[in-house]
Every structure is written in C-alpha cells, then in structure tokens.
Structure 1
C-alpha cells in the first residue's frame, strides 16, 4: 500500500537534500552525527492507514539499508500480518502492524528489532495524505503502471485495462489494492514496483540542471509530509554521501521468505502468518550482508 511511500522517504532523505544549507557553528554533536552518516544505516519506513486520525495501523512496513560506499539500496518488505511477539503486550503475540497501533513507531521498531534480530538506526512515517502529496510532488505527470480490470472496478477508474498513468490518489489505491488471488503479497509487489518508479523519477529530476535548481524547494515540501527522527544535518550528510556515491540499483526481498510461513488463525488477531523465525532471520542477515544481530530479550 504505502510501501512506495517507503522508497519515497528513503530516497528523499538520501538524495533529495542537496539544498546547500549549512551551519557555521556546528556543535560536536552535529559533527558526530555527520560522521555517523558515513556508516551503513538501517531505516524503518512506515506507511500508516490514516488521514491524520490519532489511532492508525501501519499499512506498510519496510526496512531499508543504505551503505554510503555502495551503489544499492536494499529494501525489505515486512508483511503486516506476520505473527510476532510484541514487548509488554498483554496478549504477548499479535500481527506486526498492531505494534504500531498500540505503541507507535517506537514500539514497532522495538518489536522488529527483537523478533528479527536487527538494529534499526532511524524511522520515518507517512500517512495517506502525506503519501498523495509526496507522489503528486515527485511525479506530477503520474507514474505508468499495469492496471487490471479488477483494479478498475475496485478503484472506480474511468480507464481501460493495461498500461496507464496514475496520479497521487489513484496510486494510493493501486498500491493498497488486494482484492485478487495475490492479496497482501500482490500489494507488496506493487509497492516495490512504485518504489522503483519513484527512484527513477528522483534520479532523472536530480541529475538535470533544472531539477537540481528546484531540489531545495522540492525537498522542503516533501519533508513536511514525513515524520522522521533524522536531524537536518544527518539528512544533509547522507545526501552528500549519496551524491558522491549515487545509488544505481534497488534490491528487494520480502519477509517472510517463500516457504517459511504457514497461514494460521489467532483467537484475538484473526488470520496471521506464522513465521519460521530462524529461517527468516537468517535470510535477512544474508540479504543485508553481515548485518550484526542484536540480543533479543525474552
């Protein structure tokens, strides 16, 4: 659903901040953060199913790994129905997206760290309104995707099936669509597709003279729609690393990996995915190439 929001957020944080801002009186803390930005970082990117309401669930959950010395961003889609242990939750286990509902980004981050043995450095959150604004800002002419008859009926589009250009609200419906035999798994695939398209849009925009000139205004507008714990100097340091070592590839995977889960019913959570955690933790570590695990409590 909002997973493409994910890539938008990451690419914005990494590529979009070449605004020329500077601080003549940088503190030691800021210098330390800039040095840290040169290291590999794991981001938790969250798309929430709300339009500003207080209570919401994470509709899209993705981990992104960026290594300033590398040429690829690695994206991992975490299925929201994964049955996980939530810290200090009275029923102990529930769907992964329930962690956000009861404890926001902090609890979701802690839940992922403990269940999948991975350290998360930063988080970023965007809701439906923000997603639509971001897409219309980054791709004002729309993005071309494959639209099926089922999508047209579900989204009430006045279009023919096949390749069509969709815009903000339509793209939101496109990535959230799940009324076919692929269900949530199909949504994950479409989220990856839109992320790749957004990456290409950003690359095209920021490598042109006109795009570079407009980038400060563009980034400022987009960042207004994103809630992140990154400081401005951290964003700029990451942007510098990105410019010096441009990302040319987006690698992706899904958790749970194939044949590593079973469909189950929970009395309190409903239909869930029961994961083989050992297999999925191993796959995640391998994908992130040597990512150090953290100690899992409990």
Structure 2
C-alpha cells in the first residue's frame, strides 16, 4: 500500500515536472516567435527608398585588434550620406563595455582634432574616414592615441531617426538648454528652450546643432547627453519590447564587422547587468587644446599629443 502511494506521488511529480518544462518551452518559443516577427516587421517597414549603406568605405578591410580581457572596444561612426559622393564622418566615438566591472565608457573624439593620419600626414581627424574608411580611422586612432579597436559600427543618421521613433514613439525626454534655429538646403533645426519630448528628427537636430559660438564643443556634450537618455529608453520595459522591431528598422542604415553571436552576447549581458551610468571623456577638450589655423586645413584643435594619449589610455584602463 505504501509503495503504491509512493509510486502515485512520484508519477504526479513527474507529470508536474513535464508540465513545467513544457510551459517553459512554449514560453521561449513564443518569445522567439515574437522577436522574429517584430524584427521582420521592422525590416519590412524600413523606408523602401532608403539608399542603404555604402558597401565600400575605403579599400582596406578592418583589421580589428582584440580588446583587453573582459572589455570590448568599438569604433562608433555617425555619418551623413545625403546622397553625396564623399560621405562625411560627423560623429567619432569609442565605446567600451567592461563586462567584468559592469562599466560603460564613451569617448568623444572631436572631428577637428589635429592628428597624424598614416600615409597622409597631419590633418583633421574626420579626414581619415573620407580618405580610407573605418580601417584608416582605426589606424589613425591607434597611431595617435594608442587605443586598440576590435569592432566598428557605422550608422547613417537616417537610421538614428528610425530607431528613436521606434523605441520611443512618444519622444525622448530632453532639456533643451536654449532656443536653437538652423536651416540649410537639407535640414531645418527649430527647437525651443525647455523640457520636452523630442522625436527622432528633432533629437538628431538637437545632437547636431552647432550654429553658435561654442560650435563643436557643445555639440559633443549634447551627443553624450542624448546617448545617456537613449540608454534609459532602451532598458525600460517598453523599450525592451520594441527593441527587436527597432533593430530590424535600422538594419539598412548600419554597417559593422560585429557578428550576430558577438552582438547577442554583448546585448544579453548588457540587458542583464545594465550599468547605472555612462562614463564620458571628450578629446581633446577634457585634456586641453588650442585653436590653430593651418593652411589647407583651416581651423583645427591643436593638443599636447603625449598628454592626450595618456589621458585616453588611463580612462579606458
């Protein structure tokens, strides 16, 4: 009799275990199906007229160097194609994610920084991309700052607008510090001072605005401010739910050498252990510089190369 009751209880436990396992299996299948559906929907909904990314930026393949143990260094480039033959590198950053220390660091490299571009001599930093794509930019950063970069990611500004509008359809909360107005043949920036929610186009205009006496200095600070605000949107519950569709919608505007496995691994670790804040450094502003006018180059940011190199390496340690 006791043996019969024991067998009955064991059978019930096995049945309950099978139900739990089946429940988890169905749950993960549904999650996977949702992610695939949302990603495909985002990809399908991407602007059909989008020109996509230039398949060739420079002739040399990106020779990424392995990042230090536990860290991942990524070259981040924001570009403005606008149908022009020569693509401009408008934003140059180094992103570092330290999985061991759970830290996220962001270095903004001001585009007018006067540096030695291998094979071309001293020019503005952003000239490296126009002359040789991401690989020459990597070589230039290694040559001048001694920082090894494993990956690169290029995003066209149309992609920035797309991902912001998908992740935050009601806009991203930003405090606009003053009235901003700028208009040319391509874009119009018209923002009023105060707390407000900016859509993708408005947020891009806010990040790129430099039509004042501070020029590129304040623009770099605004770019860092925008990325911190976007990080908060990404890790919110609604942001996570919209992320697969956002990744699909941005695909035509992004070029990277990061494989799917690397992206998923870093993305999963980031979402499970999201850093509280983003540590930032601006080169050469935070180290010291002087304005210099160079024949053939125009206004550049001259800096103490050794001090800049030491400051950047110390920050990324």
| TM-score w.r.t. length of structure 1 | 0.77
Q: 2:195 matched to which residue of 1?
A: 163
Q: How many residues align?
A: 252
Q: Distance in 1 between matches of 2:301 and 2:78?
A: 20
> CA separation of 1:116/1:38 partners in 2, compared to 1, >3 Å: closer, same or farther?
closer
Q: Whose RCO is larger (CA < 8 A, sep 6+)?
A: 1
Q: Distance in 2 between matches of 1:252 and 1:117?
A: 18
| TM-score w.r.t. length of structure 2 | 0.73
User: CA RMSD, aligned part only?
Assistant: 2.6
Q: Distance in 2 between matches of 1:96 and 1:215?
A: 33
1:54-69 residue pairs with structure 2 within 5 A?
54-69=85-100
Q: Distance in 2 between matches of 1:133 and 1:213?
A: 16
Q: Distance in 2 between matches of 1:115 and 1:178?
A: 26
Q: Distance in 2 between matches of 1:54 and 1:258?
A: 34
Tell me the secondary structure at the aligned position of residue 120 of structure 1: coil
Q: Is the 8 A contact 1:78 1:256 kept in 2?
A: yes
Structure 2 unmatched ranges of 5 or more:
1-33, 37-65
Tell me the secondary structure at the aligned position of residue 233 of structure 2: helix
Q: Is the 8 A contact 2:162 2:246 kept in 1?
A: no
Tell me the secondary structure at the aligned position of residue 235 of structure 2: helix
Q: 1:237 matched to which residue of 2?
A: 265
Q: 1:181 matched to which residue of 2?
A: 213
Report the alpha carbon displacement of residue 136 of structure 1 after superposing the two structures with TM. Answer: 1.4
Structure possessing the higher radius of gyration over alpha carbons? 2
Q: Distance in 2 between matches of 1:281 and 1:78?
A: 12
> CA separation of 1:110/1:153 partners in 2, compared to 1, >3 Å: closer, same or farther?
closer
Report the alpha carbon displacement of residue 160 of structure 1 after superposing the two structures with TM. Answer: 4.3
Q: Distance in 2 between matches of 1:113 and 1:156?
A: 35
Query: Quick check: 36-45 or 76-85, which moved more?
Result: 36-45
Tell me the secondary structure at the aligned position of residue 102 of structure 1: helix
